[in-house]
Amino acid sequence: MKKFVKHRELLFSTLSEITSLIVAGNDKKLIFERLLDCSLIVLDAERVYLLELERDSVVKYSKSRQSGGEQLRVEVLRDSSVVRDWMLREGGAKERFQRGGELAFDLPILTNRYLQEADSSGVIISAPLVAKKSMFGLLVALHHDDGQLYTQEDIQLVTVLANHAAIAVENALLYQKLEREAVTDGLTSVFNYRFLISSLETEIKRARRFKQSFSFVMLDVDNLKTYNDRHGHLGGSQALKEIATIIKASCREIDLVSKYGGDEFGILLPQTGLTGAERVTRRVVEAVGRHRFDSESTGLLTCSAGISTFPRDGQTVRELISAADKALFQAKRSGKNSVLTTEDLIGEIA
């Protein structure tokens, strides 16, 4: 256990730092960089790699001892099918797979084709990064001194590092998932009411400071009750998901789409006056009207919308929502599938 003793301080400080990075909400790139920095030293490697499964590709992170304090290199492997299939196959063999432990791979194939190592005559050591018994990454260390073989101690070290990094990344992804869920509507995957209110408050402060305007849209689904009676509540829920997707696709990148209530959506349009907001909203309403829900004819479900603008229609979140809601109410009364602004409500808004 000489290496454990020799590098104990570095090893424990690295594990502690990785944990701290997770608590601080940092991304996995920083975690991988600290892992590779430590691996270079404690494994006495010339170059270390982390191969990460990212959907249908493999992302390669690398660091070299020769180049001293070089920055972490990150690249997506173009021809990665062999490595990806091998990692998926090894990770899928649950009956013979446990968290940690060394995995063997054809050294010339791995080093020449995927790691761009000109000399594949050295020694290699690797350990999988596993989350819930599914491999998502592989830590690889290379040394070109034929006289130096990796020992059981080295295998234990690389396993400890890989295990801790895997747990850290797993926790980071869970943390990010919980953060997303805290601001996201569970059914439609757009932002929820709480995040909308918070965003409106922030936008009011920003618009007031820079003397700019913005608009808010209250949008309601027409005839949803009739649709539910015909297709059931599951069908209605699916329709709401599709409408949320249509709204997002019809809005701009800077616009914020949220679920307001049962069949209502709120849209925040930053730096947008009444005319621009009406143009965006009509595009949304027309797109919903053209959509075929459950392969039915178009027009079965439509939307009505009301628009208010800061600072003309209100100085607070409550005033802006109330103004948009009044315009929406009048749009519903006037025959649905329509868009009204506060300018259309002559004398109704004080």
Domain assignment present for residue 285? The answer is: yes
Same domain, 212 and 334: yes
Q: Does a structural domain hold residue 15?
A: yes
Q: Please count the residues of the chain.
A: 350
Low-confidence ranges of the chain (pLDDT < 50): 1, 24-25, 92-108, 118-120, 347-350
Kindly state whether residue 24 falls inside one of the protein's structural domains.
yes
Q: Are strands 57-64 and 47-54 parallel, antiparallel or unpaired?
A: antiparallel
* 263 and 297 belong to one structural domain: yes
Question: Looking at the structure, do residues 144 and 276 belong to the same domain, yes or no?
Answer: no
Please check whether residues 231 and 318 belong to one and the same domain. Answer: yes
Residues 110 and 156 in one domain: yes
- Determine, yes or no, domain membership for 188: no
Question: What tokens does 103 get?
Answer: 């995995």
- Residue 80 maps to a domain: yes
Residues 127 and 83 both lie in one domain: yes
> Where does a domain end: 134, 160, 182?
182
Indicate if 255 belongs to the active site.
Answer: no
Give the pLDDT of residue 103.
46
Looking at the structure, tell me whether residues 199 and 144 fall in a common domain: no
Answer yes or no: do 31 and 143 share one domain: yes
Count of C-beta atoms within a 10 Å radius of residue 257: 24
On whether both 136 and 216 belong to a single domain, the answer is no
Domain boundary among 162, 182, 202: 182
CATH number at residue 267: 3.30.70.270
User: What CATH number is associated with residue 112?
Assistant: 3.30.450.40
Looking at 136, 153, 182, the residue that finishes a domain is: 182
Q: Which pLDDT tens digit goes with each residue over 7-65? A: 566 666 666 666 665 554 456 788 888 888 888 877 778 888 888 887 777 888 888 87
Pairwise CA distance, residues 268 & 193, whole Å: 12
Give the count of domains, the chain: 2
Q: Within a domain: residue 349?
A: no
**In terms of domains, do 271 and 176 share one?**
no
List C-alpha distances in Å: 200 to 167, 177, 184, 268.
37, 24, 16, 7
Closest to 169 (Cα-Cα) out of 22, 8, 324, 70? 22
Geometric angle at alpha carbon 13, from 7 and 16, rounded to 5° = 140
> What's the burial of 219, exposed, middle or buried (CB within 10 Å: 0-12/13-18/19+)?
buried
Pairing state between β 123-131 and 134-143: antiparallel
Q: Are 135 and 163 in contact (CB under 8 A)?
A: no
Decide if 350 is inside a domain. Answer: no
- 247 lies in a domain? yes
Tell me, yes or no, whether 157 and 245 share the same domain.
Answer: no
Q: Is the domain of 112 the same as that of 204?
A: no
Question: How many CA atoms are closer than 13 Å to the CA of 107, on its beta-carbon side?
Answer: 13
Q: What domain range is 50 assigned to?
A: 2-182
Active-site residue identified among 44, 263, 294, 313: 263
